Amino acid sequence: MGAGLQDPVATPAARFRSWRHGVLLCTILAAAHADADDAVRRTVNERSEDAVTSVDERRNGVEVGYTHAFQILRTSPSEAEAGSHDNLWGFTLAYERILIPRRLALVIAKPFHFTRDRFDSPVDVFLKVAFPKGRWEPFVGAGVSGNIRVFSGELEQEEGTRFQYTFGVGAIAGVTYAFTAQWGLSLEVGYSYFVNGLARHSITDGLSGVFRF
């Protein structure tokens, strides 16, 4: 009786059916896996696009950071000051008001510069044009600067005054990187020309944290 029974799996037709079922099952699993991968990629891309869009939505902001000024002095009453230069260090506060979203802003900056016998307290008003590229935002700008200089020690005696009011024009360039829609970091360089006062040419650089609201 055992010899008269034949295992159906052992037949060629049964083996073919089993192989075909296996191939079909693998095809279904591969298609399901591909669909899952596509869904994950679409979700990641949508989130990335949402993040970039959120960053690209320019807002008003404030900046706080370090600043440095290299100034070439005019011919001074003191021969020691004639043609010399000063390096001033300090910090800056700035407010940015958006005029045209993602393009034009009004910037009001208040640097504070210090050196051994000088304190400079300028107010800068600039129009800034931005060129946002995702999280990066290169920019250029131009405007005016008014400065109150306070002298002390020998420099006060040489200038013959304790306070000096100056006016100038200038330009800036730099780039801002947005970590999030609210927080960023800005690197900036600038040049100013003053029509009066001790310093006629000023080259500045600064690094500031940015908060948008």
Instruction: Look at residue 67 and tell me whether its pLDDT is greater than 70.
Output: yes
Q: Of 55, 71, 86, at which residue does a domain stop? A: 55
Report if residue 1 sits inside a domain: no
Per-residue pLDDT at 5 exceeds 60: no
Q: Are residues 47 and 143 in the same domain?
A: no
The answer as to whether 162 is a domain residue is yes
- Integer Cα distance of 195 and 49 in angstroms: 48
Question: Which has the higher per-residue pLDDT, 145 or 102?
Answer: 145
Average pLDDT, integer, range 45-64: 65
Task: Identify whether the C-beta of residue 105 lies closer than 8 Å to the C-beta of residue 96.
Answer: yes
Do 171 and 199 belong to one domain? yes
Confidence of residue 41 (pLDDT cuts 50, 70, 90): low
- Specify whether 70 is located in the same domain as 146: yes
Record the tokens describing residue 7, joined without a space.
């295992």
In a domain, 4, yes or no: no
Residues 200 and 142 in one domain: yes
pLDDT confidence of residue 137: 96
Q: Which residue has the higher pLDDT, 59 or 80?
A: 59
Tell whether 118 is covered by a domain.
Answer: yes
| Position 29 in a domain | yes
Q: Are both 84 and 183 inside the same structural domain? A: yes
Judged by DSSP in three states, 193 sits in strand
Predicted pLDDT of residue 25? 67
Give percent above pLDDT 90 in the chain: 57
Q: 83-129: per-residue pLDDT in tens?
A: 588 999 999 999 999 999 989 999 999 999 999 889 999 999 999 99
Digit-coded pLDDT (tens) for 187-199: 999 999 999 988 8
- Which of 39, 55, 71 terminates a domain? The answer is 55
Report the pLDDT averaged over residues 44-53.
51
Lowest mean pLDDT among 27-41, 97-111, 157-171, 186-200: 27-41
Task: Answer yes or no: do 66 and 116 share one domain.
Answer: yes
pLDDT at 138 over 70: yes
Residues 76 and 34 in one domain: no
**Statement to judge: residues 105 and 201 lie in one domain:** yes
Measured CA to CA, the distance from residue 203 to residue 213 in angstroms comes to 30
Answer yes or no: are the C-beta atoms of 177 and 185 closer than 8 Å: yes
3 in a domain, yes or no? no
Q: What CATH number does the domain containing 147 carry?
A: 2.40.160.20
Q: Is residue 46 part of a domain?
A: yes
Confidence (pLDDT) at 3: 47
How many domains, the chain? 2
- Whether residue 80 is predicted with pLDDT greater than 50 in this model: the reply is no
Domain interval for residue 154: 58-212
Same domain, 77 and 49: no
207 and 134 in one domain? yes
Output the average pLDDT for the chain. 83
Whether residues 40 and 112 share a domain: the answer is no
Do residue 33 and residue 64 come from a single domain? Answer: no
Among 37, 55, 73, the domain-final residue is 55
Residue 192: Cβ within 10 Å count: 24
Q: Model pTM greater than 0.75?
A: no
Is residue 48 a part of any domain in this protein? yes
